[in-house]
Amino acid sequence: MTHSATANHTPSIKNILSIAGSDPSGGAGIQADLKSIAAAGGYGMAVISALTAQNTRGVRAVHVPPASFLTEQLTAISVDIHIDAIKIGMLANAEVITALGDWLNTIRTPTGLAGAMVPTVILDPVMIATSGDSLLDPSADAALRQLFTHADVITPNIPELGVLARGTVATTWEQAVGQARAVAAEYQLLVLAKGGHLEGTSCRDALIDATGALTEVSSPRLDTQNTHGTGCSLSAALATHYAHGGDWPTALTQTKTWLTEAITRSDDLRVGHGHGPLNHLATLWDRAPEGADEDPMPHWWEEITPILTGINQLSFITELSAGTLALEHFEDYLGQDALYLRGYASVMSKASALAPDEAARRFWAASAVSCLEEELALHRGRLGNQIPEPSPATDAYLNHLSSSAHDYPVLVAALLPCFWIYQDVGRRLAAANHPGHPYADWLSNYASEEFDALTREAINITRDVLHHAEPSTWESMWRAFEVSSLHELAFFAQTGADTGQQSDPVLTTQKAPAV
């Protein structure tokens, strides 16, 4: 997508620093990090903490430069370049870890070398070898735990998580989540529990904060030996996506989507005779040809990241999640949402009439009925018959949907954000729910397997329509999707909780992402 440039425009490409060991075979360490950062849309920088002689079959030798040279590398970067996020990988000994901690102290304080930079820090604690042997002596282990005070997120694998929790290696997902909760509470940070080492048909990852709240993303487990460097790659991509969007659940979802594709496409490569690397740049290589068969939906989602960030930062959302939202603001929202759902149901009925196949007709018709049932059950249960007049934001959104109803492909794209964004917001609100929450009855309906399934179906329908549409329609579909996403932001921002928020969306993009 092309963005207009202005003199005060904040650069959209973030500077991501990887501090890790080198893998000359290119599958892990610094090399994997740089490819992952590039795939996620960041500018990668590298400070090397150790040199290894390794290939896809294993590590043959390790050389650790003096800790003072690590400091020289770090200082050279920080006195010249703004750092948006840091990914930390292999740290071989206590001296290196201590030197890194000292440098982090300088850049995370106002008197530091580069001012109050305070970049996001993701630490991938490389502690356990594939053989199960410890890679750190006791002094290095203690120093690494001290380094957690500088980290926002740590991303241990299952064996490392067991060590950090001072327990045994988890054999079930429930055990892993329990250990992650304990570690998150002890060190007051986010822990990414990763299910890659466990058995099962799905691979589950979850971000867990110090309160124990969990955001989980699942993907199919892939039958492949090409997993060399998966942990390095995941944490580097996660750092980059968070630097762009500022929201951890969204960054995790984007990272998992890319990582699954990189593993799926790993067989396209022919690298070595052991555990092969991921195909980090497969989607970038696919992106160039106009009209290629690449799935465009992840790109659509990525392009509205600034809108998603705006929604997540609204007082309405943060106060609703915390349970501190004033009742009058909540009821203002419910009243407008009741009006919106009526209109939304009407437009989905039009989509059902325009749909080219029976499955799509049934989906849109059933979704229309579901909207009306939700309006009756959730809204009138709290508001009774006290439904207000539509606000300018509600009118604008419904007018946009109605104006899209002349053309089925455009209408499908315009309807999608209400599924997709609602699901994204709902996951976080549902995770904040607890028995004493003043809006517990409402939050319990925000995330469900049924709505997840409906959202996937809406995405699949939009993808299918896009692939069968004429190229001249692609831009119109994208534009309808983007405008609806902006209306979603305006709709959430219209209550008194966000007085002063702009309720009239302004388009910020010029061109649709390539299909």
210: left (phi over 0), alpha (psi -120 to 50) or beta: alpha
Residue 425 near residue 411, CB atoms below 8 Å = no
Q: In the annotation, is 230 catalytic?
A: yes
Catalytic residue among 98, 227, 260, 509: 227
Report long-range pairs for 299-306 (Cβ below 8 Å, ≥24 apart).
299/513, 299/514, 300/478, 300/481, 300/513, 301/254, 301/420, 302/41, 302/254, 302/513, 303/1, 303/482, 303/509, 303/513, 304/417, 304/481, 304/482, 304/485, 305/244, 305/245, 305/250, 306/245, 306/508
Give the H/E segment covering residue 453: helix 449-468
10 Å CB burial of residue 468 (0-12, 13-18, 19+) is: exposed
Interatomic CA distance for residues 186 and 433, integer angstroms:
23
Q: In the annotation, is 231 catalytic?
A: yes
Q: In the annotation, is 227 catalytic?
A: yes
Catalytic residue among 120, 215, 230, 394: 230
Exposure b/e, 65-99, CB count within 10 A at least 16 = b: eebeebbebbbebbeeeebbbbbbbbbbbbbbbbb
Interatomic CA distance for residues 279 and 27, integer angstroms:
9
Q: In the annotation, is 229 catalytic?
A: yes
Q: In the block, which residue shows the tokens 């991501």?
A: 16
Residue 464 near residue 453, CB atoms below 8 Å = no
Exposure b/e, 350-383, CB count within 10 A at least 16 = b: bbbebbeeeebeebbbebbebbbebbeebbeebe
Residue 143 phi, psi dihedral angles, 5° rounding = -65, -40
Please enumerate in sequence order all residues whose Cβ is within 8 A of that of 267, keeping only pairs 6 or more positions apart, or say none.
Answer: 224, 226
Interatomic CA distance for residues 88 and 82, integer angstroms:
17
Residue 390 near residue 398, CB atoms below 8 Å = yes
10 Å CB burial of residue 390 (0-12, 13-18, 19+) is: middle
Catalytic residue among 26, 27, 89, 231: 231
Catalytic residue among 35, 194, 256, 350: 194
Give the residue numbers marked as catalytic: 194, 227, 229-232
